[in-house]
Structure 1
C-alpha cells in the first residue's frame, strides 16, 4: 500500500500523541524544520503521476494510505484539502484511507458532493483510551461516512467499544501498541478483550502491531521495531469479515 503524505508535521493533542513516531523520526533524521510546522510535500499530487507513456504510475485498484506523517484534518491544511478531495475524485479507480484524531473537524471539511461518503474513501477514527473513545465515537458515528474504521492505537488501557460497535456501521477495529524507546506497555489481555467485543458484535478485527513492550501471561516482552507487525500477525487472532458494498 503506497503511503501518500501530501503534507508533513503535526501537533500533539491527546494522550496517544505523547511519543509520536513522526516527532521521533524527524529527530532521528536531524530535520531542521520543527515537526510542529505543517508544510506541503513534494508528494502532494502523488496519485496523479504518470509514467513516460502517459499511463498512471499507480494503476487502477491501488490503495493509498493517506497522511501518515500528519493528520488529514489538521487546521494548517485547510487551504490544501479541497485539492486532495479533487484528486480522490479524479482517481475514483483507486481507494484511499486516512485516520484522524480530529474527527470533530470532519463535518466542516467535507466536499459539497460528499453525500453519504465517497465509496473509494475509508476513514478511521483513533481512540487510544476510554476517554477519547467516549468523546470521538459519538461524533464519528453521527457523520456521513460510507466506510468507517476504528484505530485503537497506541492502545493505552482496556477500552470498551461495545456501545459503538455494529456490523455494517463499523467495518473493522484495528489495535496496536506503541513503538519507540519510551513506549508505554501494551497488555495483551486488552487486545483479546477488544477482539471478543468485535466477535460478539460481528465486526472485523485486526491486531496490527505489538508495540515495543508487551505484557502477556504475566511476562514482559521487549519486541524490536522490525518484528512488531509480524509478531502481531503470528498471534493469529484477526477476524476477517467480507465487506459488501
Structure 2
C-alpha cells in the first residue's frame, strides 16, 4: 500500500520508502500508522515490522507538480534498523527533485544528530522532531544542532503543556490525539504554544483539537484557523511555480548544467 493521497493538513503528498516502526515514547502509544497496518493487513505483508521498499525510491521523480512531501508517514527514516546507505538513497532522490519540499519527522533525535555528520541535507529537505510533552523537549536541542534549512516541531499528540526554546526553530505543528482511546488535550496548552511561537516569530500550524474521529473538535483556535508555514515555502512556490511544464523546463536546465 503506497498511496500519495493524504488527509494531513500540513502536507500535499506522502512517500513511504519504509514502513513499520517500534514505539519509543508515550506519543507512540496509539500510533495511527500501526492501526492502519492492522486495518489493511493485505497491504502490509510484514505488518508493522520495519520494512524497506527499494521499489518506491523513485516515486517522487514521477510527480511533476511541486509539492510538500511528508516522508514516511508510516515509519521513521531514522529508525535504528534503517541502514545508513538506504537513508543516503532517500536523500539522493530528494536532491534529484528540487521542485518538491520534503518534510521528515523523527523521534530518533540522537540518531538524527549522529548521522547528520555523515549526510548532506539539501535545502528542500526539512527536518523535524516530535515533542509530545515536556519530558521530550530535549529532542529540540538535538534538532538545533542539525544543519537543516528548516527545523520544525510536531507537538502531536500534545499530551501536556510545553515550555519551548524556539531558537533556530522555524515551524511548530500542534494537534490533539484522535481515535477511540484518545487522550484529551487542553486548549490552553495550544494557546500557550501559539503565544510562544508568536513571540519568537515562528510559524504556527494548528492541525486539530482531536477526539474520537480525526476531524472531531475542528481546527479553530480563538475563532481562527492557524495554518502558517515557514517563509521559505512561499519563496519555493514562487521559484518553481505550479506548472508541470515549468518544472520540466527547470529539470532540463539542471541536467544541462550538471
Could you tell me the TM-score, scaled by structure 1's length? 0.81
Is the Cα contact below 8 Å between 1:124 and 1:149 reproduced in 2? yes
Number of residue pairs aligned between Structure 1 and Structure 2:
218
More helix per residue: 2
User: Per-residue displacement from partner, 1:165-194 (whole Å, max 9, x unpaired)?
Assistant: 13xx21111100111111111111111111
Aligned to 1:37: 49
Aligned to 2:26: 15
Deviation of the 1:109 alpha carbon:
2.5
Question: How has the CA–CA distance of structure 1 residues 242 and 81 changed in structure 2, closer, same or farther, with 3 Å as cutoff?
Answer: closer
Is the Cα contact below 8 Å between 2:206 and 2:227 reproduced in 1? no
1:1-245 correspondence to structure 2 within 5 Å: 1-30=12-41, 33=45, 35-41=47-53, 42-48=55-61, 57-59=62-64, 61-78=66-83, 79-110=85-116, 114=120, 117-133=121-137, 135-161=138-164, 164-166=165-167, 169-212=168-211, 224-225=213-214, 227-228=215-216, 231-233=218-220, 235-238=223-226, 240=228, 243=231
User: Per-residue displacement from partner, 1:185-205 (whole Å, max 9, x unpaired)?
Assistant: 111111111111111111111
- Once residues 22 and 113 of structure 1 are traced to their aligned partners in structure 2, the CA distance between those partners, rounded to angstroms, is 27
Is the Cα contact below 8 Å between 1:125 and 1:151 reproduced in 2? yes
Is the Cα contact below 8 Å between 2:70 and 2:103 reproduced in 1? yes
More strand per residue: 1
- Once residues 239 and 3 of structure 1 are traced to their aligned partners in structure 2, the CA distance between those partners, rounded to angstroms, is 19
Is the Cα contact below 8 Å between 2:156 and 2:176 reproduced in 1? yes
- Once residues 109 and 208 of structure 2 are traced to their aligned partners in structure 1, the CA distance between those partners, rounded to angstroms, is 23
